[in-house]
Amino acid sequence: MSGATPHLVLDRLTRRFSEARAAVDAVSLEIAAGELVALIGASGSGKTTTLRMVAGYEIPDGGAVVLDGRDITSLPPQRRQFGMVFQHYALFPHLTVGQNVAFGLEARGVARSERMSRAAEALAGVGLADAEGRAIQSLSGGEQQRVALARALIIEPPVLLLDEPLSNLDPTLRRSTREELRSTLRRLGVTALFVTHDQEDAFAVADRVALLAAGRLLQVGTAEALYDRPANRDVAAFIGRSTLVPGTLDGDRIAIQLGGDLRTLRAAPAPDLPSRGPATAVLRPDALGFSPPNGPDAWPGVVQERRFAGALLAYRVGVAGDVDLELHSTVRDVQPGDTVWVRVTREPVAVVA
């Protein structure tokens, strides 16, 4: 990131719910002002617990949360004022839409007329003009999400926290809402940390993605970096789809054997990998393509499965050595049972331990 001091720092944050295993294990993360960072991981990976420690709802067993150089680890949530957007939105059912949005201002003692006009403004900012008087119960899921966002943004939080903000929306609404979310946060220059289990959401909204598994931070980087340069097998397996093929690394080359032929590919090894020795090539479906029969560096195989996925078709091709390669192609006239030739179309390929 930029050389400026980070806005928010998570320093070796740790939380144990039992002696046996830490739910969050020494997670460190730096977030710059105005940056959108997504915390992703499977359920139980510790992402929500991490977020709750940042918000102050959960007290860490170790480590620190630092905001603009100030240690805020022991501050209660009401003094941090990060304005969290909850998974189920947590809108106050006894207050109107306008009162919900104005709540943070009311808590600060802002006069009624001012807070209501600012709430109206905030609602207009999320496309809900004139909704102030409505009851929470009358809102659709998407509207509730936007009210929750407006309610959190109105207090101008130093960092906006969002816990699975899109998971309660249907797929179509979800796509449009996440674009809105990104453009709103961008427009306002908000720093945000959001938790999601959906990598598509993370890729669409975040500048950087932090992947957690079993309480540990596996890798932080742009979506492209995580996809193209996974730090280890777990990242490669979690982010996107891939076929993992064993091989031998030699500097910036990896030799893999599928069937009888040894092929050498240009390699982009993970940073902590020894430069020589056994390693695993990560073959992404979009870095593989069909080749003319007997083409150079191509493997013969039989199509096992053909799945239409809109712009692309996803094929599973069984090559020698019982390996199934997954590949995406715009080629449509290949059918299951056909013999095809497959080659790597984009190099270097990622290499992990």
Partner 1 sequence: MSQRADEKGTWLFALPVLLVLLWTVVYPNASIIVGSFEHGLRSWRQFASSPTDIEALRTTLIISVGSVIASVAVGLPLAFLLTRVEFRGRRILSAVATLPAALPPLVGVVAFLFLYGESGVVTRGVQALLGLDHAPWTLNGAGAIIFVHAYTMYVYVFLFVSAGLERLDTSLDEAAAGLGASRSFRLRRVTLPLLTPAIAGSMLLVFMSALGSFSAPYIFGGGLRVLSTQIVASKLNGAMGLAYVETTVLAVGAIAALILLRWFERRRTYAVSSKGSVVRTRLHSRSARALAPIAGVILVVILVLPHAMVVLVAFARDGTWTTQVLPPEYTFDNFRRLATNSDLWVPIWNSVSMTAIATVLDIVVCLLAAYLLVLRRFRMRWLLATLVALPWAIPGTAIGLGLASTFDRTSLAGARVLLVGTFWILPLAYFVRGVPLVSSATEGSLRQMDPSLEDAARGLGASWWLTMRRVVLPASRPGLVAGAMLAAIAAVGEFVASIVLFTQANRPISMEILSQLRNFAFGTAAAFSVVLIALVLAITLIARWAEGRWSRAEAVVIQ
Cα(275)–Cα(286) distance, rounded to whole angstroms?
Answer: 26
- C-alpha dihedral (278, 282, 283, 287), degrees to nearest 10: -120
- Are 335 and 306 in contact, with CB atoms under 8 Å apart? yes
Contact set with partner 1 (CB under 8 A) = 55-57, 76-84, 86, 88, 90-94, 103-104, 106-108, 137, 151-152, 155, 161
In this structure, what DSSP letter does residue 135 have?
Answer: B
Q: Are strands 8-16 and 243-250 parallel, antiparallel or unpaired?
A: unpaired
Taking the least distance from each CB to partner 1, the nearer of 55 and 185 is: 55
Minimum distance of partner 1 from residue 266's CB (angstroms): 48
Taking the least distance from each CB to partner 1, the nearer of 86 and 234 is: 86
Taking the least distance from each CB to partner 1, the nearer of 56 and 142 is: 56
Q: Are strands 339-344 and 288-291 parallel, antiparallel or unpaired?
A: antiparallel
Taking the least distance from each CB to partner 1, the nearer of 104 and 247 is: 104
Taking the least distance from each CB to partner 1, the nearer of 23 and 211 is: 23
Q: Which amino acid is at 339?
A: T
SS3 199: helix
- Are 89 and 148 in contact, with CB atoms under 8 Å apart? yes
Minimum distance of partner 1 from residue 95's CB (angstroms): 8
Cα(162)–Cα(164) distance, rounded to whole angstroms?
Answer: 6
Taking the least distance from each CB to partner 1, the nearer of 7 and 80 is: 80
Query: Which one, of 168, 174, 97, 88, lies nearest residue 138 by Cα?
Result: 97
Taking the least distance from each CB to partner 1, the nearer of 184 and 257 is: 184
Compute the residue count for the chain.
353
Cα(242)–Cα(287) distance, rounded to whole angstroms?
Answer: 10
Query: Which one, of 84, 95, 141, lies nearest residue 119 by Cα?
Result: 95
